[in-house]
Chains A and B, each alone.
Chain A
Amino acid sequence: MNPPILKHIIKSFLLILLISFVSDKLVFFLFNKISDQVYTGQSIGKVNHYLEIKDSLDFIVFGSSRANHNINPIKISENSFNMGMDGRKLAYSATLIKLLPDKKKQTVLLHIDPEYAFDTDYIGDDITALSPKYNRNTTIKNEIDKLGQNNILQRFYWSIGYNNAVLGIVKNYLQPNYDYKTYSGYDPIYVSDNQREIFENILNKGEKSKDCESQYTLNTIYNSYLDEIKIFCKTRNKTLILFTSPRLIDGCKDDNLKLKQILKDKNLEYYDFTDFLKENKNLDNWKDRGHLSDKGAELFTEEIKKLLK
């Protein structure tokens, strides 16, 4: 390679690194500024809302969409919040639990699905939803690093943390979905005709039989996080309760029983509501096989309320 082209390549490379580094930081700080004012939406707003009020809460629900859409926390306590989010599993919830204050007495209701708890392929990747906070919160950074879910390029390009969250943040910055001050984190599902039609089509196709596994082994990430949050809650004045949300159809009970046994062995309080509403065949209570409609959620919330009394 002749010297002029070598010089051209080196100059181009360095200039790209420099300009992309600077523009990345500009974008990062711009989105920090914007996102700090966003308190609505699942991209970052709900996490910001949680971080703002977490120290004053008495009762908090964590988990996936099966926690978020199924429990109305206000019916249980006025100082409460449902931090359930679509697609989130234990890594995400456990990290948020670890951000709770040290001494305040709080009840933590954590949703756990046997299906995911025994999923040996689960690698804790749901924690990447907290990536916008990676360079801004030590606990979150440590948890993401511990699970190896950090993008190695993020050390150089910080804005990677906002990957796929940008539009949601901008949208909620310009036009918040709701008044967050009256929002409890609970998102009831009002089933539309179209959704009902899709759901009925699915049911009419018949249930694919789910075979039970011959052996169930708790995922190692679930195992360690359950131990960690148990200690965390015990030492920080929290009451930890685990539960499993109702399912319209559950072809295999072995995993539920096994999980129950494991949690009992770990001395964790656990309630399996998989078969709740089983006798009630009314489809109006369901959005799909795993999610309750607003009507079903009200019934389920009442059941949780009774339990906590």
Chain B
Amino acid sequence: MLFNSFEFLVFFPIVFIIYWLLNNDLQKQNILLLVSSYIFYAWWDWRFLSLIIVSSFIDYTAGSKIFHAKTERQSKNWLLISLIANLGLLGFFKYYNFFADSFSTMMTGFGWQPNDLTLNIILPVGISFYTFQTLSYTIDIYRKQFEPTKNMVSFFTYIAFFPQLVAGPIERASNLLPQIEKKRILKKEWFNEGLIQILVGLFRKIVIADTIGAYVDTVYSDVGIYNSTTIVVATFLYAFQIYFDFAGYSDIAIGTAKLMGFKFNQNFNLPYFSISLTEFWRKWHMSLSFWLRDYLYISLGGNRKGIKITYRNLMLTMLLGGLWHGSSWNFVIWGGIHGLILSIEKFIKTYQTSYLWKKFSFLGYPITFGVVLFSWIFFRAQDLNSAMLAIKKICQFNFSAPFIGDINLIITSALVLSLGIGFDFFLFRKKIDLENLAARFSILKVAVLASVIIVLINLFYSTSNNFIYFQF
């Protein structure tokens, strides 16, 4: 079920009303959340519910066993079981074909023609997200940072909770499970915040991202036929398409959870207003970047083992972070670019002392955006060949008039994008988080703002597409 679908418009109010009617019985409320989350997921494909249930069961058991293990070895073994089971499922469904195909290509290079090893596998929606979520639970218990829950319903609800099930934010057990296990209350401020964030998220998704996505899709479906200007424009628009698409999804998820009395962590914080790539990653898909930092980068040694190992760890973390997004070399290269620039930034930060460097630090904003923009080419292109072709076409410096296509679409894209960037700029200048924007608004102000957004959505929404991050 998509957040921007009519089904969800019916589904959510029903769940919301029953949920708050059951407010005096926590267990019943959690059972409702679990059942409704499974319905939400099954709406896409009920068969893959079994994966979530199996994954939940393994980690519920592993968490308990790790905690109660009498020896370090036992504890480690159960952690390994959790890692192998979760990463095994993820690896099979998401990466089997990628590795099989890469293996075939490599063998062909050596003159051996293996049979087609790929399988017809459907990628279960959200598997990358809930796998990381379940892993954080067992790893935190292993690190003795968290105690396992004894309540199976709570744990299963934590994994399947519908606002964040299919595309995050990747909520840690330490944040979400305690909220699931205690009585929730809905505060006025939360209701205001949640409602406005849902509407802003919808606007970002179905108005901005979907509108500008049409141009991007046209150009990136056949980059070879367009000039340099067109590809630069399409890449620029894609940078905002993916941001508004995913930030919009996160807004709806965070807002929906808030209406149910849950507080998720912030997932995007105006990432394009970043002076460095390091800062960008503190603001972009924060739940993933913090996950990678805490469970991968630090596990590899972080920056505790000398500068060379730090560079290696950064590269490995970003390469694997890239691969997490998709099973293609494009994503690996995308991660590699980010890893490389993060390492360079680390190097500069270590040695920067000059006055000039500090004086011109503001140049970090456009440079960071430029790096991010360049890397998006690999993220968006259909395959490695298309990405290289796009770069080649840009390097031809054929900056004549760009392809326009539907003029109405271009003008609408420019308008809605200006509204989106303008709103973000307002939040940036005022140092306000969207999550808290409407907290102190009066009822009238909330209603007026909500109505304005509704009217704008009605006038400018685009035909719905899947959220980009669903494919990951």
Check B408 against A167 for contact (C-beta < 8 Å).
Answer: yes
> Digit string of B390-430 for contact with A (CB within 8 Å is 1, else 0)?
00000000001101001010011001000000000000000
Q: How far is the CB of A35 from chain B (nearest CB, A)?
A: 13
Contacts of A23 in B (CB 8 A): 451-452, 455
Check A5 against B188 for contact (C-beta < 8 Å).
Answer: yes
The answer to whether A272 has its CB under 8 Å from any CB of chain B is no
Contacts of A192 in B (CB 8 A): 401
Check A5 against B224 for contact (C-beta < 8 Å).
Answer: no
Check B408 against A20 for contact (C-beta < 8 Å).
Answer: no
The answer to whether B226 has its CB under 8 Å from any CB of chain A is yes
Check A1 against B23 for contact (C-beta < 8 Å).
Answer: yes
Q: Count the A-B residue pairs with Cβ separation under 8 angstroms: how many? A: 94
**Which of B46-54, B134-142, B360-368, B456-464 interfaces with chain A?**
B456-464
Complex-state Cα separation, A174 to B454, whole angstroms: 26
Q: How far is the CB of B209 from chain A (nearest CB, A)?
A: 15
**Interface set, chain B 430-472, CB cutoff 8 A to A:** 443-444, 446-448, 450-452, 454-455, 458-462
Check A194 against B227 for contact (C-beta < 8 Å).
Answer: yes
The answer to whether B20 has its CB under 8 Å from any CB of chain A is yes
Residue in A23, A43, A194 whose Cβ sees the most chain B Cβ within 10 Å: A194
Contact of B443 among A11, A24, A159, A205 (CB under 8 A): A11
Complex-state Cα separation, A148 to B36, whole angstroms: 28
Contacts of B186 in A (CB 8 A): 1, 5, 9
Contacts of B458 in A (CB 8 A): 24, 153, 157, 159-160, 163
Q: How far is the CB of B203 from chain A (nearest CB, A)?
A: 14
The answer to whether B112 has its CB under 8 Å from any CB of chain A is no
The answer to whether B191 has its CB under 8 Å from any CB of chain A is yes
Complex-state Cα separation, A171 to B407, whole angstroms: 12
Complex-state Cα separation, A168 to B406, whole angstroms: 11
Check A167 against B411 for contact (C-beta < 8 Å).
Answer: yes
The answer to whether A308 has its CB under 8 Å from any CB of chain B is no
The answer to whether B76 has its CB under 8 Å from any CB of chain A is no
Q: How far is the CB of B21 from chain A (nearest CB, A)?
A: 8
Interchain residue pairs A-B with the least CB separation, the first 5: A15-B447, A20-B451, A19-B451, A201-B225, A1-B20
Q: How far is the CB of A299 from chain B (nearest CB, A)?
A: 26
Q: How far is the CB of B214 from chain A (nearest CB, A)?
A: 11
Check B225 against A205 for contact (C-beta < 8 Å).
Answer: yes
The answer to whether A307 has its CB under 8 Å from any CB of chain B is no
> Digit string of A142-179 for contact with B (CB within 8 Å is 1, else 0)?
00000000001100010110111011100100000000
Residue of B nearest to A193 (CB): B400
> Digit string of A169-208 for contact with B (CB within 8 Å is 1, else 0)?
0010000000000000000000010100110011001000
Q: How far is the CB of A87 from chain B (nearest CB, A)?
A: 9
Complex-state Cα separation, A153 to B9, whole angstroms: 11
Check A16 against B447 for contact (C-beta < 8 Å).
Answer: yes
Complex-state Cα separation, A17 to B222, whole angstroms: 44
**Interface set, chain A 1-27, CB cutoff 8 A to B:** 1-2, 4-5, 8-9, 11-12, 15-16, 18-20, 23-24, 27
Complex-state Cα separation, A24 to B6, whole angstroms: 19
Q: How far is the CB of A258 from chain B (nearest CB, A)?
A: 29
Contacts of A205 in B (CB 8 A): 224-225
Q: How far is the CB of B423 from chain A (nearest CB, A)?
A: 19
Check B461 against A163 for contact (C-beta < 8 Å).
Answer: yes
Q: How far is the CB of B461 from chain A (nearest CB, A)?
A: 6
The answer to whether B254 has its CB under 8 Å from any CB of chain A is no
The answer to whether A42 has its CB under 8 Å from any CB of chain B is yes
Check B408 against A12 for contact (C-beta < 8 Å).
Answer: no
Contact of A171 among B188, B227, B411, B450 (CB under 8 A): B411
Residue of B nearest to A197 (CB): B227
Known contacts A5-B187, A198-B225, A201-B225; A16/B451 CB under 8 A: yes
Contact of B191 among A9, A43, A153 (CB under 8 A): A9
Known contacts A159-B459, A166-B459; A12/B225 CB under 8 A: no
Known contacts A24-B458, A152-B6, A194-B401; A12/B195 CB under 8 A: yes
**Interface set, chain B 215-234, CB cutoff 8 A to A:** 222, 224-227
Residue in A4, A19, A27, A168 whose Cβ sees the most chain B Cβ within 10 Å: A19
Contacts of A1 in B (CB 8 A): 20, 23, 185-186
Q: How far is the CB of B407 from chain A (nearest CB, A)?
A: 9
Residue of A nearest to B411 (CB): A167
Residue in A18, A43, A160 whose Cβ sees the most chain B Cβ within 10 Å: A160
Q: How far is the CB of B215 from chain A (nearest CB, A)?
A: 14
Q: How far is the CB of A168 from chain B (nearest CB, A)?
A: 5
Known contacts A8-B188, A194-B400; A27/B20 CB under 8 A: no
Contacts of A4 in B (CB 8 A): 188
Check B401 against A42 for contact (C-beta < 8 Å).
Answer: no
Contacts of A162 in B (CB 8 A): 459
Q: How far is the CB of B451 from chain A (nearest CB, A)?
A: 4
Complex-state Cα separation, A202 to B444, whole angstroms: 56
Contact of A42 among B408, B444, B452, B461 (CB under 8 A): B408
Residue in A1, A152, A201 whose Cβ sees the most chain B Cβ within 10 Å: A1
* Sample of 14 further A-B pairs with CB below 8 A, known A16-B454, A205-B224: A5-B191, A12-B191, A12-B192, A12-B195, A15-B443, A16-B447, A24-B455, A43-B408, A157-B458, A160-B458, A164-B459, A166-B459, A194-B403, A201-B224
Complex-state Cα separation, A162 to B126, whole angstroms: 35
Residue of B nearest to A4 (CB): B188
> Digit string of A83-105 for contact with B (CB within 8 Å is 1, else 0)?
00010000000000000000000
Contacts of B408 in A (CB 8 A): 42-43, 164, 167-168
